[in-house]
Structure formats: C-alpha cells, structure tokens
Amino acid sequence: MHDVTDAEKSGRARVKSVQDYIDERPMWPDGTHLPSAPMTSMQWRIWALAAAGKFFEGFVVFMTGVALPLISREFGISAAQDGFISAASLMGILVGAVGLGGMSDFFGRKRMFIVEMIIFVAFLVLLIFCTNFISLVVCLFGLGVALGCDYPTAHMIISESIPSTSRGKLVLGAFGFQALGALGGTAVGLLVLSLVPNLDSWRWMYGTAIIPALAVTIGRFFITESPNWLHVRGATDRAEEAARRLLVRKPQYPTSIALSRDVMLGGAGHGGKESFIALFRKRNLRATILASVPWFLQDLGTYGIGIFTPTILAAAFGNKPDHVRSISDLILNGILAAKGSALITTLLIVGILFAVVLADRVGRIWLQVIGFIGCAAGLLIASFSDGFEGSTKTAVIFAGFMLFNFMTNLGPNAQTYLLAGEVFPTAIRGTGAGFAAAVGKIGAVATAFLFPILLTGIGTGPLLYILVATSLLGAVITWMYRIETAGVNLDEIGR
C-alpha cells in the first residue's frame, strides 16, 4: 500500500463519469456526506416536463374511451371499422416506440423529447377538425406515434439527469402522472358531456388539452441535453457544458467538471454508434430478454383481465342501455364509461404509489417477481367465480380484479417500464427501451385478437388458468434474467 499522490488523485478525477458528478454529495465541515444529492432546479424542470407529458398521455388515451362512441355515431363508423381505430393507435405506438424512441440514441434525448410533443400537439389539433373515418385513423395513428416515442424518451431524459439513489422513485413518480392524467381526462369528459350534451362534445374534450400541451412543448426547448448521451457520442466539451448547466447550485458543487475524452469509459457497448442488432448480441441479450419478455407477459394479463371489466363496472355503476336509441342514451353510456375508467385508474394510482415508495428500497426485481405472483393469485381468485352465481360471483370477480390491479401496478406494470430504461448501455438505451415497449404492445394486440376467440372456444375458466401460467412465467423469467438496477450508477450498467 502507498499514499495516493496528488497526481494520482487528479488522474482519477479526470476519469469520473457524468453520473459520478450527478451522484456527488456535498460534505459537512466535519467530513460527513449528505445521504443523497439534492436535486437542482434544472433537474426538477426536466422531471416536471416529463411528468407533464405522461399526464397528457393518460388524459388523451382515457378521454378517447369516452369520446369514441360519439365519434362513431357522428361519422357512422361500423363495428368492423372500430377495429381499425384501435389498431391505428396500437400501430402508432409500435412505430413510435421502436422508430422514434430508437432515434434518441442518434439524434439526442432532448431533440426527440421535443419532437414527440410537437407530433402530439399537431395531431391533437388535427383531430378536432376530423370530418371522416380516414382522417380519424390518421390522427389516432399520429397520436400513437407520439405516445410510443415517449415510452423510452421520457424515462431516459429523467434517468440520465438525476442521482442514482432516487432514480426509481422519480421515474415512477413521473410515470404515475399518466394515471393522474387519466383521472383528469375522465373528469373533463364527464364535465363536457354534462355541459355540451351533443355529438360535437368530443371535439371540446380534445380541445381542452391543446394549450397546456403546447406550453409543455415550449418548455422542453429550455432544458439541457443529456450529458451522459453527449459524452458517449464523443461530444465531451458539450457534455461538460450540459453537466455544468444541469448541476447549477448555491453553494456550487461539484466545483468543476472534467470528463474523460475516452468515449469507451462505460465499457463495451457504451461508446460509439450502435445498431438495432446490438440488442441481440451476447453482451446485451440478457438485458433485452429481461426488458421485453416480462413486459409482453404483463400486457397479456393486464388486457386479459379486461374480460371481467364490464361485469365489475356494471355491478358498480349499473348496466348501460343495451341498444342506443338516442343521443341521450349515448351520453349516458359515455358517463358510465367515464365513471368506470375512474375506478380502474384509482386502483392504478394506489399500486403506483406503493411502487414509488418501494422501488429504490426493495429493488425492481423483487417487486416485479412478487407482483407477477400476486397477479397470478388475483387471476386464480377470479377463476373461482365459475362456481358461484349472482352477487357472490361478482364479489369473487371483484376480489380477484382488485388484487390483480394492485399487484400489477406495484410490480410488472411499473417495474417493466422502469427496468427497460435502465438495463441497456447508454449507446443503445433508447433503442432497447423502445423495443421492449413495442414487444409489450404486441402482447396487447395478441390479447385483443386472440382472447375473444379463446373465450368462445375454451371458456372463461381455462382462459384464466392460461393467464395464471403466463404471470408465473413472468416471475420465473424475471428471476432467471435478473439485472438489479436500484441505486446503480447508469455507467456501471451494461459492463
């Protein structure tokens, strides 16, 4: 052993990564460090703008559920065309997640963070002027593209700018704003239906989001680019400047920022330009499986439990009119749908709150494993309803529904999103997170097309047993391919 010289200390300081500077904690005069690095005003601005984007996602998506029956009536859309409407949104999400989300690895996090919101606002404006079925499908596809891009981009713009110890709760806190937006969307839907009870009310619903969303878009021009991304792209001077702007404090620390000129600092896969194929190379394959397969299985269960949703909502709020005979019947259906959405969203918020509190304490992997097992238990309870009738049957379904929704939002719904944006090296983080989100949506599409057929062919009980098995499989795969990221420096991930 020998004493460390000033030159050695200086040499080590020069190879500190961006995340090391972000994680740096101030020290009291007695030499003790604060337990965590306080957030700067720029870090909070980035977080708030990402959370606002998530809010508008939930706002528009859940409002669409209320608005579509009115749109269908106004445009005379048939049942077959309704399928195209759902497919347009899902296809847009797939394209946005893989295409635009991946572009953030090449054009930058900030640029795509702005572009996705511009696309969102543009198609939102166009949507309120739609006059036919084709224009509606195009606009919903465009909105889907923006939503898909946001899955990886919002996560990365936060996670690459904040301290490692609080990354889980802050990313999931922003993710939770999607649920708050859903509540806001259903509330606005109810209000507009009450104040403007006619077929044109759906245009007013979407119109309420345009000005606030435009303000968020403008705000995104005034944040820093991810210094982490700049550094791995070799733009070291710009990365240092972005890091200094990100970490402005009073009193100032770190006092100076000097990054290595070696873009391979984070290990193989961090530096240089990587392609989509890099996701399936040996060094990244474990992360790709962990990020995408559980997300796919989670969406199977989440959309599969929807077969019971009409039963639950009918018991809670009453049955809708079997046949829409007038505009008033259509408005009544819309109000019941909004109330039902509010019930589901409340369950989502409760689960997400627990996830926010526990993600950095318990860890992502344990929460995802326990969540999948809890989902399986909820689905199993729901399957027991076949042996009951009347109110008892509804109570059993409701118990399973409640347990499933809480456990999926505590576990796989929250953790798959969180892990997908953390387990990949910086150079392919956007591509990897986008691919994982797209695979999850493939699970949603598969459920929408296959489950009605299976429900008719094999019945409710066997179908639920299949979902129990897929949930347990999600727990197994999560554990087999586990990469725990709680509190881990992003530059250490992917080594």
Statement: residue 391 has pLDDT above 50: yes
Separation of alpha carbons 216 and 362, rounded Å: 33
Separation of alpha carbons 377 and 475, rounded Å: 12
pLDDT digits (tens, 9 = 90+) for 42-74: 999 999 999 999 999 888 877 777 777 788 788
Beta partners for 27? 33
pLDDT at 324: 45
Statement: residue 372 has pLDDT above 60: yes
pLDDT at 337: 53
pLDDT classification of 9: cutoffs 50, 70, 90: very low
pLDDT at 38: 85
Separation of alpha carbons 282 and 290, rounded Å: 13
Q: At 28, is the secondary structure helix, strand, or coil?
A: coil
Which of the two residues, 181 and 476, has the higher pLDDT score? 476
Token match 């995802």: residue? 368
Which of the two residues, 75 and 139, has the higher pLDDT score? 139
Q: Considering the chain, what is the average pLDDT of its residues?
A: 83
pLDDT at 182: 81
Most confident of the following: 91-100, 165-174, 457-466: 165-174
| Sign of the dihedral defined by the CA atoms of residues 52, 212, 341, 445, in that order | negative
Statement: residue 100 has pLDDT above 50: yes
pLDDT at 271: 46
Separation of alpha carbons 119 and 124, rounded Å: 8
Q: Are 113 and 76 in contact (CB under 8 A)?
A: no
User: Which amino acid, one-letter code, is at 471?
Assistant: S
CA distances from residue 276 to 105, 111, 146, 194, 280 in whole angstroms, order as listed: 10, 20, 20, 49, 8
pLDDT digits (tens, 9 = 90+) for 302-325: 877 765 565 545 554 444 444 444
pLDDT at 77: 79
Statement: residue 343 has pLDDT above 90: no
Residue 90 parent element (H or E): helix 79-95
Architecture of domain 41-492: Up-down Bundle (1.20)
Statement: residue 344 has pLDDT above 70: no
pLDDT classification of 268: cutoffs 50, 70, 90: very low
Domain boundaries, the chain: 41-492
Q: Are 265 and 387 in contact (CB under 8 A)?
A: no
What global pTM score does this model have? 0.85
pLDDT digits (tens, 9 = 90+) for 223-247: 999 999 999 888 999 999 999 999 9
